[in-house]
Amino acid sequence: MKKFLTITGIIVAALILGIILLGGKSQVEKVEKAIEDGDSFVLVISSLDCPACKNYKDFTLTYYEEDPIIPLYVLEIEDAFKNDANRLYEFLIRYELIDSPEDNFSTPTTFIVKNGTFKSIGENDKKGKEGPIPLGELKDLINNA
């Protein structure tokens, strides 16, 4: 019994240490690090209570993840920004995805980042494309960005 408790204690301590060392960064911090590192990826800003977002994630993004061209990050407003509109808008303004908090922003919105730079993929030279995107169109946007 004593040996079992010792082994269990070691396993629990290793799990806690692993969580602290590997899981310490939030999704927003991971995205910001990828931008700073000059990585290329797809970023989707979504909402848990948005039916269009759910369908986009369940279909297009699920199929995309089976054979991704570049990595995919999904930031859920509720989790990534703690339902704090100011935090969301600070992120969007910092990366020049909107000009001011008065600008309209809807979910889902997809962004393509190539070598750490957000690319124009939306209408009127916008950096983000609003609404669900079919898989073929998403792949075309990535390849042409």
Domain count, the chain: 1
Which of 96-100, 101-105, 141-145 reaches the highest mean pLDDT? 141-145
Is residue 13 domain-resident?
no
Q: Between residues 74 and 3, which one has the greater pLDDT?
A: 74
**At 56, which CATH number?**
3.40.30.10
Which residues form the domain of 95?
Answer: 25-144
Type and span of the H or E element at 3: helix 2-22
Is residue 116 domain-resident?
yes
Its pTM stands at 0.81
The pLDDT of 132-143, averaged and rounded, is 96
* DSSP-derived secondary structure letter, 67: S
Q: How far is CA 2 from CA 7, 12, 13, 95, 98, in A?
A: 9, 15, 16, 55, 60
Q: How far is CA 16 from CA 8, 10, 21, in A?
A: 12, 10, 9
Q: Is 15 a residue whose pLDDT tops 90?
A: no
Percent of the chain topping pLDDT 70: 83
Q: Which pLDDT score is estimated for 115?
A: 97
Is residue 70 domain-resident?
yes
Distance CA(121)–CA(124), nearest Å, equals: 9
Q: Which pLDDT score is estimated for 1?
A: 55
